[in-house]
Amino acid sequence: MKSHVVYVPVPAQSHIGGMLKLAKILHHGGFFITFINTEFNHRRLLRSSGLTSLESLPDWRFFSIPDGIPLSDAEAASEPKFPGATQDISALCNSCRNYIVNPLCDLIGKLNEEVRRKNGSDVPPISHIVADVFMDFAAAPAAEKVGLPLVHLFTISACATMALTLSLVHRNMPYAVER
């Protein structure tokens, strides 16, 4: 039986891109993939035709959860044409912290229960959750609820990791020359 991996990225373009790349690699290796996005990012992928290249793949499913942020006036007025480049980062962070946990736990619990009820289903039981390290606050309770192992993926680039590391080191480094 195939392993079934559920992906939970941070709802931001580069994080989703990194998760999709890993999911494609594992799918090619024989894994069943379930990819969970926020509704906003799911609509963006649909508009960009990004999902059409993956929808027809066997053993690949997409689901979305609400992010708790209402549509902007521009987006609501022109839906589905609005390009929706991004959401307000501050509002998105607050919404993720305060809103996404329950919908994510509910969806993963529902998916896991659905597979267990359908013994002859083509969908194997969920074997792992792969979450962006910045989504631990939401993915950890979901994994614990259904008793699944949680794997964290640090999706930022090597360059960003080095910059972050150096800034932290520099902040704690005593200056050799007084200013």
Active site residues: 15, 132
Preceding omega of 80 cis (within 30 degrees of 0): yes
| E strand intervals along the chain | 4-8, 32-38, 60-65, 128-132, 150-153
- For residue 94 the two structure tokens come to 């607050």
Q: How far is CA 114 from the centre of its chain?
A: 21
Give the whole-angstrom CA distance, residue 16 versus residue 92. 15
Rounded CA-CA distance 117/93 in Å is 35
Q: Crossing angle of helices 136-146/101-117, nearest 10°?
A: 30
3-state helix, strand, coil in the chain (%, to 5): 50, 15, 35
User: Which burial class, exposed, middle or buried, applies to 32 when counting CB atoms under 10 A from its CB (0-12, 13-18, 19+)?
Assistant: buried
